Structure 1
Amino acid sequence: MKVQEVTRAQAVRRATMASVVGTTIEWYDFFLYGTAAALVFPQLFFPGQNAFAGVLAAFATQFVGFVARPVGAAIFGHYGDRIGRKTTLMATLFLMAFGTVLIGLLPTYESIGIAAPILLVTLRIIQGIGVGGEWGGSVLLSMEWGHVERRGLSASWPQMGVPIGLVLSTGIVRITSGLTGTEGFVAYGWRIPFLLSILLVGVGLFVRLRVIESPEFEAVRKADKVVKAPLIEVFRRQPKEVLLTALVRTSEQAPFYLFITFVLTYTSRQLKLNSNSILDYTLIAAALGLISIPLFGRLSDRFGRRKVYGTGIVLTAIYAFPYFGLLNTRDGLLVAIAIVLSLMLHDIQYGPQAALIAESFDADIRYTGAGMGYQLASIVAGGPAPLIAAALLSATGTSTAISIYILACCLISMLALIMLPKRSAAPAPEAENVTGVV
């Protein structure tokens, strides 16, 4: 470690790059599990006569990872508000990679019986804790270094880790399945993308070691305002914000996991379409997110977070029935349009979301507060969404109930957005040159 003086522009670039690279790795790992849960985990870890029972079990283990995310937000939020964003983010990177690589080495049910799904659930919990601690720190590191008038854009850069991670995970699964064939992918090919995660970690560590601590956290530390128990302080001072920021994500997160995970099950099992084609369409949609996410983040700087976010909620609600209508045609072009448009509409909310949530909390408890609000949505929205959709499809045999479920999610988010207190966190003073440990 050494003390180094850099220009503010250099510090901003390093923080932004570290946030994007780190969240890319984290989401690569997390999305990889969702893809495997839809394609191969039912038969490898939850074999049985009822195909839907295996699917439900695989998505249930995915849900376990979501339940673990608020735990990660609480644990790493504590240290992020106590010792800083940078150090904490190094730990989340290691934890996520550890869980992912071990999943790639895990014996299946055929080899070790019931111990296989038990170990899978354990590693999924480790993944979830890592992701739960990652998001808050990455967003704050980027946003708190950003210019006050472009915080929507600054906070949207870490969100780019989602489409990049989705492109990488989906792309590698697509390439691996193409090279190994269907039988080879089920037998051993699915392990390759999980093991490759270790290579990405080296890149993430190099980038994050060069980051200088957030100026707003440094201001809190210099003012001797670091709180001793951030989690307790958050629920004492801003419990309403925690609940509402969790609920405001319902219309973004629940449909998102239907659009990228459940769609693989729905199109392959219900519509009998080629899963590789669906992966290709998802790749295209995710790649477009590299443009749409920062675009809508920037638009929120100009028109306001709430207006842009609310527009996304309304458009998602309108799209609930047309989405499945397009998929149900089984026409390649229309299915592609359905998938691409679904993620574009998602990005209208996802672009400004990070700034909307982070600005709702005071700087001294922001890592914990923003992380808890963001990750609690995993329990009520993202985590159960594929599970609920699979159960609805199994019970009704049609997509109508799933579309109604999406509409309900949008209603919840709109009410939460209206009730969320309006405030903007005051930024730390900006300086031309900064000094920090790298």
Structure 2
Amino acid sequence: MTIIATAPAAGLERTRLNSIVFASCFGTIIEWYDFLIYATAAALVFNKAFFPTFDPLAGTLAALGSYAVGFLARPLGGALFGHFGDRLGRKSMLVLTLFIMGISTFCIGLLPTYASIGVLAPILLIVLRIVQGIGLGGEWGGASLMVLEHAPAGERGFYTSFVQIGFPIGLVLATLAFTLVSKLPDADFAAYGWRIPFLISIVLLAIGTFVRSRVPETPVFEGLRQRNDLSNNPFGEAVGRNTKTFLIAVGLKLSEVSWVYMLTVFVVGYATTKLGLAKSLMLDAVLYAALLELVSLPLFGWLADKIGRRPLYILGALFTIVFAFPLFWMLESKSTALIFTAVMIAMNFGHGMMFGPESCYFPELFGPRVRYSGASFGFQASAAIGGGFAPIIATAMVGYFGGTTGVSIMMIVLALITLAAALAARETRGGSLT
């Protein structure tokens, strides 16, 4: 990936900045791939492989519950690695979180199923999912700060948006991996096919570790260290002394994270089980929606530098409110064209418009002493609430009430919370990082 700089950061050559952006983005791709293949597997196979003693609905909820555990672990990772990222530096946390994530993902691919070792299988699955969540919880903040604190002041939104495209690329790779292995006969897919996407993670880990180990520490952190101005308790300072900012960050994240995991987890499961749509159709729709985000995320990052961060959050929340019901109407038409259109529009405007500027906006809301802790914990706490529970609640509501009206209302309520947070937040475009 080559990113052409229009104004190089002070004292930093253009090629050096590009290499930092590439290293952060590449590592984030791996992290999201690892995290998202679990989400796909939870929707398609884990209910049978690890929770076979339940009835179909209960088995699906149990599988999604194991998926949600990873989200609950993410705030722990955000607090833990945020603390050390603000105390010891951004770079060291980048390499460590990548290693933790890659090893735990690889081990999931080696796990025996319930049929082999009984109840120990889902227990080990949940433990590894917790480790995954801890790793991802600390990764995003470090990758974002590594680019943000090197980027030119007027282009921070654009450059940090390349950290964010790690999500759609990881989603594309995860979806593509499962699309390929799902073409195996059902018996082969259940026996070994689902393991392949997890096992190949070890190769990505080796490459990512090499790439990230070569990037320099950020000048902002080096300045803090030289001035002996590091916080002794960055997490406590970020949350305790900046409570309003922290709550705003949680609210800003809530709608888009719920929306995207509804699309990639709940909608896939709902469409295949309740509407009888082909698994390959839904995976392809998600795949093309994610591919479009490779363009839309840098565009929204660029717009954040031109018109500000807040307007994009306001527009994104309003879109979600308007589209919460039409999304399901278009799915229920069972028209391939309408399904693809619905998923692509929903992901890029209900998620991408807010997700694109997130890597610059969240850290900019906090001061340099606590930036890693504040941005990471705010981001991950909201992800735990929205991403972890929204698909489970939606699945339960459809299972017990039969329709999606309650699901749409839930998404509107979450979007209203994000809208309120955006209206309460301050604009950070053009502000100083020090």
Fold equivalence (TM over 0.5)? yes
Could you tell me how far 1:114 is from its partner in structure 2?
0.7
Q: Deviations over 1:315-360 (max 9, x none)?
A: 1111101100000011111111111111111211111122221110
In 1: Cα distance, 2:432 partner to 2:277 partner: 51
Q: Corresponding residue for 2:207?
A: 203
Could you tell me how far 1:7 is from its partner in structure 2?
4.4
Provide the secondary structure at the position in 1 that maps to 2:149: helix
**Alpha-carbon contact 1:97-1:201 (below 8 Å) kept:** yes
The size of the alignment, in residue pairs, is 422
Could you tell me how far 1:12 is from its partner in structure 2?
1.1
Q: Corresponding residue for 1:19?
A: 24
**Alpha-carbon contact 1:241-1:421 (below 8 Å) kept:** no
Q: Deviations over 1:95-137 (max 9, x none)?
A: 0011101100001111111111111100000000000000000
> CA 1:49 to 1:129, structure 2 compared with 1: closer, same or farther past 3 Å?
closer
Could you tell me how far 1:181 is from its partner in structure 2?
2.3
Q: Corresponding residue for 2:261?
A: 257
Unaligned runs of 5+ in 1: 1-5, 429-438
**Alpha-carbon contact 2:32-2:171 (below 8 Å) kept:** yes
Which of 159, 162, 167 aligns to 2:167? It is: 162
Q: Deviations over 1:403-425 (max 9, x none)?
A: 11110110011111112244565
**Alpha-carbon contact 1:14-1:210 (below 8 Å) kept:** no
Q: Corresponding residue for 1:115?
A: 120
Letter in 1 for 2:216: I
Q: Deviations over 1:171-205 (max 9, x none)?
A: 01111111x22221111100000000001012211
Which of 418, 427, 432 aligns to 2:433? It is: 427
Which of 215, 220, 226 aligns to 1:222? It is: 226
**Alpha-carbon contact 2:313-2:419 (below 8 Å) kept:** no
Which of 307, 312, 321 aligns to 1:308? It is: 312
Q: Corresponding residue for 1:245?
A: 249
Letter in 2 for 1:200: L
In 2: Cα distance, 1:48 partner to 1:112 partner: 14
**Alpha-carbon contact 1:142-1:157 (below 8 Å) kept:** no
In 1: Cα distance, 2:123 partner to 2:207 partner: 31
TM-score (norm 1): 0.94
In 2: Cα distance, 1:405 partner to 1:236 partner: 30
Which of 139, 142, 146 aligns to 1:137? It is: 142
Could you tell me how far 1:38 is from its partner in structure 2?
0.2
In 2: Cα distance, 1:106 partner to 1:63 partner: 19
In 2: Cα distance, 1:247 partner to 1:7 partner: 35
Q: Corresponding residue for 2:275?
A: 271
Which of 376, 379, 387 aligns to 1:374? It is: 379
In 1: Cα distance, 2:223 partner to 2:259 partner: 38
Letter in 2 for 1:379: A
**Alpha-carbon contact 1:11-1:212 (below 8 Å) kept:** no
In 2: Cα distance, 1:58 partner to 1:272 partner: 20
TM-score (norm 2): 0.95
Q: CA RMSD in A?
A: 1.3
Q: Corresponding residue for 2:323?
A: 319
In 1: Cα distance, 2:113 partner to 2:299 partner: 43
Letter in 2 for 1:417: A
In 2: Cα distance, 1:40 partner to 1:131 partner: 23
Unaligned runs of 5+ in 2: 1-10
Q: Corresponding residue for 1:56?
A: 61
In 2: Cα distance, 1:293 partner to 1:417 partner: 19
Which of 92, 97, 122 aligns to 1:92? It is: 97
Letter in 2 for 1:426: S
Q: Corresponding residue for 2:7?
A: none
Provide the secondary structure at the position in 1 that maps to 2:182: helix
Q: Corresponding residue for 1:290?
A: 294
Q: Which moved more, 1:236-245 or 1:363-372?
A: 236-245
Letter in 2 for 1:382: G
In 2: Cα distance, 1:394 partner to 1:175 partner: 29
In 1: Cα distance, 2:345 partner to 2:322 partner: 12
Letter in 2 for 1:218: E
Which of 280, 286, 295 aligns to 2:284? It is: 280
Q: Deviations over 1:360-391 (max 9, x none)?
A: 00011100110011000022211101101101
Q: Which moved more, 1:208-217 or 1:417-426?
A: 417-426
Q: Corresponding residue for 1:401?
A: 406
Provide the secondary structure at the position in 2 that maps to 1:248: helix
Q: Corresponding residue for 1:8?
A: 13
Provide the secondary structure at the position in 1 that maps to 2:432: coil
Q: Corresponding residue for 1:148?
A: 153
Q: Corresponding residue for 1:231?
A: 235
Q: Corresponding residue for 2:5?
A: none
**Alpha-carbon contact 2:251-2:382 (below 8 Å) kept:** yes
Provide the secondary structure at the position in 2 that maps to 1:311: helix
Q: Which moved more, 1:344-353 or 1:291-300?
A: 344-353
Letter in 1 for 2:108: I
